Structure 1
Amino acid sequence: MKARRERDGLLPRMEARPRKVGFTYRYHPVGGKPINLGTDRIQAIRKVLDLTDAGDDLGTIGRLWTQFQETPGWKRYSQYTRDDYTQCSGPLVKTFGDMRASDIDATHVSRYLRIERATAPVRANREVALLSNLIGFAIDRGEAKHNPCREVRRNEEQPRTEAPDPAQFAAFAAWLAGQGAQRAIIGMAAEYAAYAGNRKVEFLDLAWPQVDEKQGFVRVKRAKQRGKKRGEVIEQIGITPALAELIGRLRAVAAARRKDDGPESLYVFPTRTGSAYTQAGFKAMWGKLMNTALETKVILTRFTFHDLRAYYVTQYKGQIGSLPDLHANPATTARVYDRNRVVKRKAL
């Protein structure tokens, strides 16, 4: 079995010969005598590629990233994860693209986290997670021997502790609504997240057939489910008066599009062309609008779109008195999303 594993990852016409300790490698050129390659497998592979003029980028992070996207494992990722990794690959490949996975050590990873990406420490953690996957992929292919990402402590991530202020959020939503067009759509998407508590990945492609006003609910697939539960948990969200009013405005926008001979759209929150927003496209537009709102003093404090999920949980608990069924693990809802700082209890 060990000899078979040693054979895995070798190039055609390479041979692994067992020794008392480890293996020695040879290459058999067509019509020629075997060429000794030494006992280091990675160096042996490089020598063969040099002999055949085929390996300048063997095991480089840039090449591994391309190959990684062709694996069955990549296809099993959700579209959200694939989009996130694709975004992470930009700065990662810019820094490590021409480096071989086998040449990267812990000092390179640490420098990337603490110095080169110091302005985006949380994002850097995600990028190093991708780097770790790529180096692990290289190990499977025999192009690296160990994974230095496992030796480096990640940047500390401070959890957010405040939900958006209701008055600030209302001012932001009203400001976007007053501008019309796509900015109004973004504003209404924010209102939906605040009222329903869904993640972007769960509702950016929300279609009108999922909105049943007669029965009084919206149906979406819960994201981030693992194993057999993937795609099986359906959230049925009851339509409240506030959500009903929002749906009415969204239907009015859809009717106005039809009246103006605009593109018909199946989606509740359509782009200008009628398609669903991508994660990256929505994120970019949200960032620009948030920056403008801060510069023009519409709001005084920045909040993320994901903070609207915490807004929902915090407001829900204040009104209902309990936490909503929002996560597979209720403790996660309490720890991450409940940002109510007032604890109510009775005296004796």
Structure 2
Amino acid sequence: MARRRKDPALNWLPPRCYIKGPSIVFRPILGGSIKLCSADKKQSEVWSLYEQLISQKEQEYTISVMISEFFGSADFHELSKTTQADYRKQSKPILLVFGKMKADAVGPQHVRAYLDKRGLKSRVQANREKAFFSRSFRWAYERGKVKMNPCKGVKQFKERARTRYITDEEYRVVYDLAPNVIKVAMEVAYLCLARRGDILALRWEHVLDEGVFIQQSKTAVKQIKLWSPRLRDAINMARELCKHPIAGFVISKPDGQVYTTNGFDAAWQKTMREARARTGLPLDFTFHDLKAKGISDLDGSSRDKQQISGHKTEAQVQVYDRSIKRVPTVETARKK
């Protein structure tokens, strides 16, 4: 059901229609506006024009309409918040190129051309955007809205697995120079093998007698990270920072408000710039690399590490495990 409008007298307007000056405009989910008619039209005339517009848009099943429907679907809303945000971000360059094309007019050659051109700037982003495009087409194909998924069979770029390992010295250098809020986030990321989004979503109610409760947004795995001296020190530091009475999040601003992803990223980047300037070290690692350091520093097999990391497969653990394997020489391992 559509939300009630601030002015009850305008509740008769069709969905996503608004009065703007002398006109009534329709605003699609993906942005922009389309003039529907003048504001002095009768209600019946407005609705008739609205139905004509929607019918016309259904006949012109464009990429813009397809993605808009996908974003409004139950399938989309069942995805994690992180994936939803990624998909919305990845849709923007796709819509700039394909938005006005009829969905059935898009062929594999068009997807290939997009990948080749986009790949000149970033092959990784090109692959992610193609994966999103394919997911949208798959949704539409399964519902009989398009004849085929043109992304299927189009080869993506090869990606090299990230191998950057943060040394203990590098970690300590950045930690020592970081503001306390970044120190807390670093320790939780490393000790709990946690993603940035899960750390920012951590509330005080998740801090339990046994340890810290974390539900991974990407895999939905629930774990209690048991207390260790370093983890307890980090949480105590967070308590000292949270002096505001409304502070519900472990990582929060001085006014008690939660950090946005962009706000936290800006604070992290500032910390890294200052650390590079003061030490002269390259320090070319990301916040997400802290999780990889944690997995790499764990003792045991991939299966052992999987139990702690919360990954669903050993293969996922191996992507993060950047430790260098120690193997014997022939002299010590030679058959007797």
TM-score by length of 2: 0.71
Contact 2:127 2:157 (8 Å CA) reproduced: yes
Which of 190, 211, 215 in structure 2 is aligned with 1:217?
A: 211
Local SS of the residue matching 2:178:
helix
Query: For residues 52 and 162 of structure 1, what CA distance do their matches in structure 2 show?
Result: 51
TM-score by length of 1: 0.69
State the 1:279 CA deviation.
4.2
State the 1:149 CA deviation.
0.7
**1:264-314 CA distance string (max 9 Å, x none):** 211101145534334455445545654565466564131122211111112
Task: Identify unmatched segments of 5+ residues in structure 2.
Answer: 1-50
State the 1:211 CA deviation.
1.6
**What residue is the counterpart of 1:62 in the other structure?**
64
| Alignment root-mean-square deviation, CA | 3.1
**What residue is the counterpart of 1:174 in the other structure?**
176
The range that moved more, 144-153 or 264-273, is: 264-273
Query: For residues 133 and 260 of structure 2, what CA distance do their matches in structure 1 show?
Result: 24
Do structure 1's residue 337 and structure 2's residue 288 form an aligned pair? Answer: no
**What residue is the counterpart of 1:251 in the other structure?**
239
**What residue is the counterpart of 1:317 in the other structure?**
299
Do structure 1's residue 239 and structure 2's residue 227 form an aligned pair? Answer: yes
**What residue is the counterpart of 2:288 in the other structure?**
306
Query: For residues 89 and 69 of structure 1, what CA distance do their matches in structure 2 show?
Result: 10
Which of 309, 322, 327 in structure 1 is aligned with 2:310?
A: 327
> Would you say how many aligned residue pairs link Structure 1 and Structure 2?
277
Local SS of the residue matching 1:219:
strand
**1:228-249 CA distance string (max 9 Å, x none):** xxx4x43121222222221221
Do structure 1's residue 206 and structure 2's residue 189 form an aligned pair? Answer: no
Identity of aligned residues (%): 27
**What residue is the counterpart of 2:46 in the other structure?**
none
Query: For residues 127 and 185 of structure 1, what CA distance do their matches in structure 2 show?
Result: 33
Amino acid at match of 1:331: E
Contact 1:68 1:74 (8 Å CA) reproduced: yes
Local SS of the residue matching 1:54:
helix
Local SS of the residue matching 2:187:
helix
Query: For residues 112 and 296 of structure 2, what CA distance do their matches in structure 1 show?
Result: 37
**What residue is the counterpart of 2:251 in the other structure?**
269
**1:154-195 CA distance string (max 9 Å, x none):** 111111123212211221222222xxxxxx423421221012
Task: Identify unmatched segments of 5+ residues in structure 1.
Answer: 1-48, 178-183, 226-230
Task: Label 1:253 to 1:83 Cα distance change in 2 as closer, same or farther (>3 A).
Answer: same
